Chains A and B, each alone.
Chain A
Amino acid sequence: MYKDYWRSNLKILSILLTVWFLVSFGFGIIFSDFLDQFKIGGFKIGFWFAQQGSIYFFVFLIFIYVYLMNKLDKSYKEKMNKNKSD
């Protein structure tokens, strides 16, 4: 029961942290120079990720995490209550 909960938690963490790594270290640093050859408006894309985009993604990631974890906590508690009443 608790093990399932922890495993789902670790799964959520690894997916979200992969995105975290990709938008900052990936697009903002490692592939930044490559992405700089493409432009949206006045922004080179690598430059935009390094100075703007990564920050927006960070905010977005935390709220996704809040949403997923609240859902996971709720289902865990429901299962626990069901076990108790059985």
Chain B
Amino acid sequence: MDTQSLTYLFVGLSFSLYIGIAIWSRASSTNDFYIAGKGVHPIANGMATAADWMSAASFISMAGLIAFLGKDGSVYLMGWTGGYVLLALLLAPYLRKFGQYTVPDFIGTRYYSNLARLVAVICLIFISFTYVAGQMRGVGIVFSRFLEVDINLGVIIGMCIVFFYAVLGGMKGITYTQVAQYCVLIFAYLVPAIFISILMTGNPIPQLGFGDTLVNTDTYLLDKLDKVTVDLGFNAYTENTKTNIDIFCITAALMFGTAGLPHVIVRFFTVPKVSDARKSAGYALVFIAILYSTAPAVSAFARMNFIDSVQEVNYQEAPSWFRNWENIGLIAWKDKNEDGLIQYSAGNALEGIKPDFSNEKGVSGERVTINDPDMTNNNEVYIDRDIMVLANPEIARLPGWVVALVAAGALAAALSTAAGLLLVISASISHDLLKKMFMPKITEKQELFYARCSAAVAILIAGLFGIYPPGFVAQVVAFAFGLAAATIFPALLMGIFYKRLNKEGAIAGMISGLVITSAYIINFKFLNIDLNSSEYWFLGISPEGFGFIGMILNFCIAILVSFFYARPPKNVYLMVDQIREP
């Protein structure tokens, strides 16, 4: 069978598995729908959390990003795993003890205020939609490249699948589907990584392979990579280019942001006991670490292989993946010195960076771009970082079934995260906005009906994001983590560890964190894009890391304002005591 039929086979099989699980685990009550009836085993919950967490960004984009960033890329590795330590130690067990359905639920109850609840709901919806938009783009890329269907049709197929199991099954359906999706995605990530590690270093464990010597030589892979990158005019692969303070703040914003992401926190509401919530966070991080410790190895292999297979190669003899991705528009080649050979080095190949293709073909048969070449450097290749993981098996000439497996894995990663996000959006609307604020009289059955309706609407909106992708997806990711760090995390942490904090303090803290972080990011990412460089940043901190500053501000203002107003009522003290007790 050729690669394409294999891909159809793998994707079809995995999709029917997800639908089968959805039918088997339908939700029949709000308890099932919101938190899977609190009956999920910690290991299963760990896998589901891992799948929920590892999105299209982790699976498709992260290794590619690190491949081009080198050591600077460590911020993603530490940032997106270290947050789980904070979750397990500071939040998960207490929020599970609290025993309600949603994150705004806790904030509204602890700060005895519907305004606090509303602020939390707004942050939650904003964070979650930002995230969903990215997932749908991932689904679109995979469908168009591997199944050669129209991107829009791909997004609609993805929407139907998610609709089926999220609306029918709620949290229960999603949890068990995510367990299956985790197995698919981790297998799909590890198989090519192990293959490539053996091919390049002879070591079957990628985590060790990338610190090993290249096959038949005494040169370490990383030393060779450092040398090659420096020779081509890039920074050495294992050295930082960003300043320490910026790396510190970005890592911190990602870590605290991770610990404040509602769709992750809510997963710990689904286990039977408080001690299970702790254990479950541990298992979740094990399952996440399997992928996250493999990713930097994949990055190093991919960068090395990419350079080896295109550098000084005649375009007409370039490997087939090069042209396949060029056809989709994610690779472009501009023959600056007109020698017919591909030269890759530091700098932008084109003015305006991204290629804008015309319908013509060039002398060597390449796609001609409308934008002019950037003649300040010799680089002739534009490559979108998102494709490294997807293209990696082809670059390393692995068999067709591995390529097909990666496509199925990428879809599993995107769909599992999308489903988890859609669920927290629907729960916050039906439970927090309707049941707790505007329509307190509705019965459980009606609430369940509204939860399903809002899940359906959320899926439609997410689908629209996929079909008409807003150009700002990449920019708003910084937003999602920054806001989670600057608003939700401090409110939760102080809610548990600082009894004296009253509603005035909490609301003032959340709003100031929200305002200052948004203002900083909007200023540099949307209004004054040309000023977005370190000399204009506050203390040299990039917008990606500013959520950390917003968080510190939130803590200070919340505590300060608290002292000007009355202590929280007695029952809040009792409630906090109660969630602290084992």
Chain A interface residues (CB < 8 Å from chain B): 2, 5-6, 9, 13, 16-17, 20, 24-25, 28-30, 32-33, 36, 40-44, 47-48, 50-52, 54-56, 58-59, 61-63, 65-66, 69-70, 72-73, 76-77
Contact = CB atoms under 8 A, between A and B. Distances in A.
Interface stretch (B143-151, B207-215, B302-310, B334-342): B207-215
A69 to B, nearest CB: 6
B289 A59 contact: yes
Is chain B's interface secondary structure helix, strand, loop, or mixed overall? helix
21 contacts: A17-B85, A24-B78, A25-B252, A30-B248, A42-B212, A44-B222, A48-B211, A50-B71, A54-B77, A54-B78, A55-B81, A55-B289, A55-B292, A58-B85, A59-B286, A59-B289, A62-B84, A63-B282, A65-B282, A69-B93, A69-B278
Contacts of B73: 51
A47 B78 contact: no
B74 interface: yes
A51 B222 CA distance: 13
B285 interface: yes
Contacts of A76: 582
Contact of A50 (B78, B213, B220, B221): B78
Interface string B518-531: 00000000000000
Contacts, number: 120
Q: What band does the interface of chain B fall in when counting residues whose beta carbon is under 8 Å from A?
A: 35 or more
Given A30-B244, A42-B223, A76-B582, A66 B282 contact: yes
Contact of A29 (B84, B85, B222, B247): B247
B77 A62 contact: no
Q: Identify the 6 closest CB pairs spanning chains A and B, nearest first.
A: A42-B220, A50-B74, A42-B211, A62-B282, A73-B582, A51-B296
B267 to A, nearest CB: 15
B245 to A, nearest CB: 9
Contacts of A33: 240
Contact of B89 (A17, A41, A47, A73): A17
A32 B220 CA distance: 20
Given A61-B85, A73-B582, A55 B282 contact: no
Is chain A's interface secondary structure helix, strand, loop, or mixed overall? helix
Interface string B265-283: 0000000000100110110
Interface in B556-582: 577, 580-582
A84 to B, nearest CB: 15
A43 B86 CA distance: 28
A33 B211 CA distance: 18
Contacts of A70: 275
Given A17-B85, A20-B82, A55-B77, 12 more contacts: A5-B582, A13-B89, A30-B244, A36-B238, A42-B220, A42-B221, A54-B81, A55-B81, A59-B285, A61-B85, A70-B275, A73-B275
Nearest to B223: A42
Nearest to B222: A42
B281 A62 contact: yes
Nearest to B220: A42
Interface in B29-64: none
B25 interface: no
B90 interface: yes
Given A51-B77, A58-B285, A13 B251 contact: no
A48 B222 CA distance: 11
B88 interface: yes
A41 B212 CA distance: 7
A84 B341 CA distance: 84
Contacts of A62: 84-85, 88-89, 278, 281-282, 285
Contact of B82 (A24, A30, A47, A77): A24
A2 B88 CA distance: 21
Given A44-B238, A55-B293, A59-B286, A13 B90 contact: yes
Interface in B217-231: 220-223
Contacts of B74: 28, 47, 50-51
Contact of A55 (B71, B78, B90): B78
